[in-house]
Amino acid sequence: MAVDVQRFIDVSPWLQLIWSMPLQMILSLLFLYRILGWSAFVGFALTLILVPFNFALTRKQKTYQIEQMKSKDDRIKLMSEILNGIKVIKLYAWEPPFELKIAEIRSKELKVLRQASVLTAWNAFTLYCSPFLVKFINFLELLFP
């Protein structure tokens, strides 16, 4: 019961966006149309194109994060097994095979981490460049109708 109440408390400030976001978008587009003319719709269309693109990047980023957490769990599990059985490993001189196992798991983790970092960079790039790109396209539309 307490969890449901907390969820409602967390969501309640955002409930205003259900009706206010479309109104804000319509009013903003109307004001931009009065100032810029038809080029306002070009910028709005570009914004509508960029939003699903960023959404897709974020969704892919989430899958990479889940994959990275799985490989991190595998590495931590192996490390705890090694630490629990360190006496046996030292006794039989099994350090090199276990080093290879750890290195293999770590390289897999780093590969996923690199992919996620590249995706994060692209997401940040599009997120920070999209306002400039919309303005640039609007000005190009004004210059070359």
DSSP output for 95-132: HHHHHHHHHHHHHHHHHHHHHHHHHHHHHHHHHHHHHH
Q: What are the tens digits of pLDDT across the range 105-117?
A: 999 999 999 999 9
Distance (Å, rounded) from C-alpha 25 to C-alpha 43?
12
Max intra-chain CA distance, the chain: 81
Tell me the percentage of the chain whose pLDDT exceeds 90.
Answer: 41
Q: What is the mean pLDDT of the chain?
A: 89
**Contact predicate 32/101, CB 8 Å:** no
Q: Which of 24-28, 77-81, 91-95 has the lowest mean pLDDT?
A: 91-95
Helix 39-84 to helix 17-36 angle, to the nearest 10 degrees?
140
**Contact predicate 74/139, CB 8 Å:** no
Task: Work out the number of other CB atoms within 10 angstroms of the CB of residue 36.
Answer: 16
Chain centroid to CA 52: 13
pLDDT of res. 59: 93
pLDDT of res. 1: 58
Q: What are the tens digits of pLDDT across the range 16-70?
A: 888 898 999 899 999 989 988 888 898 889 888 988 988 999 999 999 999 999 9
Q: Which residues contact 97 (CB under 8 A, 6 or more apart)?
A: none
Report pTM.
Answer: 0.67
**Contact predicate 130/68, CB 8 Å:** no
Closest CA to 139 of 36, 35, 26, 34: 36
pLDDT of res. 5: 82
